[in-house]
Amino acid sequence: MILGIIEHDGVQLDPYGLQMLTFARDLSARLNTSLEAVLIGKSAESSGEQIKNFGISKVHLIQHERLEHYAPEAWAESVIQLLADKKADLAVAAGTERGNELMAHIAAKLDLPLASNCSEISHGDGLEITRLRWGGSLLEETSLRDNVKLLTLALNIVEAQESSANPVDFEAFTPTLEDKDFRVQLSGREENTAEGVTLKTASLVVGGGRGVGSAEGFKVLEELAECLGGVVGGSRVATNNGWRPHTQQVGLTGNRISPKLYIACGISGAIQHLVGCKAAKNILVINVDREAPFFSKADYGVLGDLHEVVPALISEIKKVQ
C-alpha cells in the first residue's frame, strides 16, 4: 500500500499534492499495490472530495482536537501511527517545505532513510530512484530497500491529471498524541489575498527584480500581466525590499511556478530564483545587463531597459486586443 500525504488549507488541496497523487497513481500500478490518501486536521474532510478522481481507493482522515494547525512533530507521529496500523509499504508527500519537513521528522523517528525531491522511480531489488539535488542542477541515483520506504516528489515533475472516477471510502483515524508533540506548531499565517489565478496556477507570470527599482515600478508589470491575463511575482530582492508581498516571491524559498510563459524583468538570474521558475515552458528575459546569467537560461531575451521595453510591449499588445 502507498500512502499519499496531501497538504490543504481547510478548503483547497495543495496543487503539488495533486501532482504527487498523479505520480503515485502510476507508481502504484507498476508496483501492483493500492494508493490511499492521507489528510490531516478537522477541516480536512471538506477538501477530501477534490481527490476522488485521482485513482485512490481510500481517504484516511487523521483527526484530533489539537491537529487543526500544522505541528510537524504531531503530524509526523500521527502518520507513523497510521503507517503501522495499515501496514503501508511506502509513504510519499510533495516536496514542498512542509512535505520535506514532515517526512524528515517521520524518517528520524523511525530511523529510516528518506529520498527527497524524487523525479523518477523504478522497481528493482528495491526502489531505484532519481532525485534532484542542488536545485535540479545535479541528478542523484539512489536505492531504497527498507520495508517502509519514505519519499517526497520534486515539484512540477508531472502535471496533475485526474483518472476515471471510482468510489472512495473515507475512514477516520485518531492518533494518540502527547503535549511534547506540540512543542512546535503554526502560530499564524500570511495569507495571499489575491483572488482567482495564483502564481501556482497561472499560465503567464510577469516577474520583477532589483531592476524594477521600487514598488511604484511594479505598476507597469501589473499592467502587462493584466493585458495578458497573468499575475505578477517578484524575486527575493523585491520582496525583501517590501516592493511585493512575500507570498508573491518566486524562488527556492518562495513559489515554484510552471507557467507557459515567464517574463522576467530586471532579474539577474541567481540560482535561487532559477529553481523557482525552471518548470516554466518558456522564459522571456528583459534586462539592461547583457552579462545577466538569466540570458543563458532564457528561450527569448530582450537587451534593454524594462522601463522602456515593457510600456512599448503593452502598447503593441493593446493594438491587437
Query: Which tens digit of pLDDT belongs to each residue from 232-265?
Result: 999 999 999 999 999 899 998 889 999 999 999 9
pLDDT computed for residue 102 by the predictor: 97
Q: What angle do CA 60, 66, 67 make, to 5 degrees?
A: 35
Write down the residue that cell numbers 511506502 correspond to.
90
- CA distances, 223 to each of 109, 228, 232, 244, 314 (Å): 50, 9, 9, 15, 8
For residue 22, pLDDT beyond 90: yes
Do the beta carbons of residue 292 and residue 285 sit within 8 Å? yes
Residue 149's pLDDT band (cuts 50, 70, 90): very high
Residue 311's pLDDT band (cuts 50, 70, 90): very high
- Rounded to whole angstroms, the Cα distance separating 35 from 101 reads 22
Domain residue ranges in the chain: 2-182, 204-320
CATH architecture of 204-320: 3-Layer(aba) Sandwich (3.40)
Mean pLDDT of the chain: 91
- The fourth-level CATH superfamily of domain 2-182 is HUPs (3.40.50.620)
- CA distances, 88 to each of 36, 91, 154, 207 (Å): 10, 7, 22, 42
Q: Which residues 6+ apart lie within 8 Å of 294 measured at CB?
A: 264, 267, 268, 269, 274, 283, 285, 287
Confirm whether 2-182 and 204-320 share one CATH topology: yes
Give the strand pairing for 204-208 and 58-62.
unpaired
Q: Which three cell numbers stand for residue 83?
A: 503507517
pLDDT computed for residue 288 by the predictor: 96
150's enclosing H/E stretch is strand 149-153
pLDDT computed for residue 91 by the predictor: 97
pLDDT computed for residue 168 by the predictor: 80
Residue 302's pLDDT band (cuts 50, 70, 90): very high
pLDDT above 90 as % of the chain: 71
Q: Which residues 6+ apart lie within 8 Å of 136 measured at CB?
A: 154, 275, 278
Give the strand pairing for 114-123 and 127-133.
antiparallel
The top-scoring range by mean pLDDT among 7-21, 109-123, 188-202 is: 109-123
For residue 151, pLDDT beyond 90: yes
Residue 133's pLDDT band (cuts 50, 70, 90): confident
What is the average pLDDT across 88-103?
95
Q: Count of H helices and E strands in the chain?
A: 8, 14
Write down the residue that cell numbers 511594479 correspond to.
218
For residue 193, pLDDT beyond 60: no
Residue 8's pLDDT band (cuts 50, 70, 90): confident
- Of 231, 161, 223, 224, the closest CA to residue 202 belongs to 231
- Of 307, 303, 256, 298, the closest CA to residue 277 belongs to 256
pLDDT computed for residue 138 by the predictor: 82
The top-scoring range by mean pLDDT among 41-45, 51-55, 120-124, 201-205 is: 201-205
For residue 308, count other CB atoms closer than 10 A to its CB.
11
Greater confidence, 110 or 170? 110
- Of 86, 72, 102, the closest CA to residue 2 belongs to 86
Write down the residue that cell numbers 485512490 correspond to.
56
* pTM: predicted TM-score of the whole model, two decimal places: 0.76
Give the strand pairing for 261-265 and 300-303.
unpaired
Which value, in Å, is the radius of gyration of the alpha carbons in the chain? 21
For residue 165, pLDDT beyond 80: no
**Direct distance between the N- and C-terminal alpha carbons of the chain, in angstroms, rounded to an integer:** 52
- Least confident piece of the model among 39-43, 173-177, 206-210, 221-225: 39-43
For residue 314, pLDDT beyond 70: yes
pLDDT computed for residue 195 by the predictor: 58
Residue count of the chain, please give it. 321
DSSP state of 154: P
- Rounded to whole angstroms, the Cα distance separating 125 from 109 reads 25
Q: How far is CA 237 from the centre of its chain?
A: 21
- Of 3, 58, 61, 49, the closest CA to residue 28 belongs to 3
What is the average pLDDT across 78-87?
96
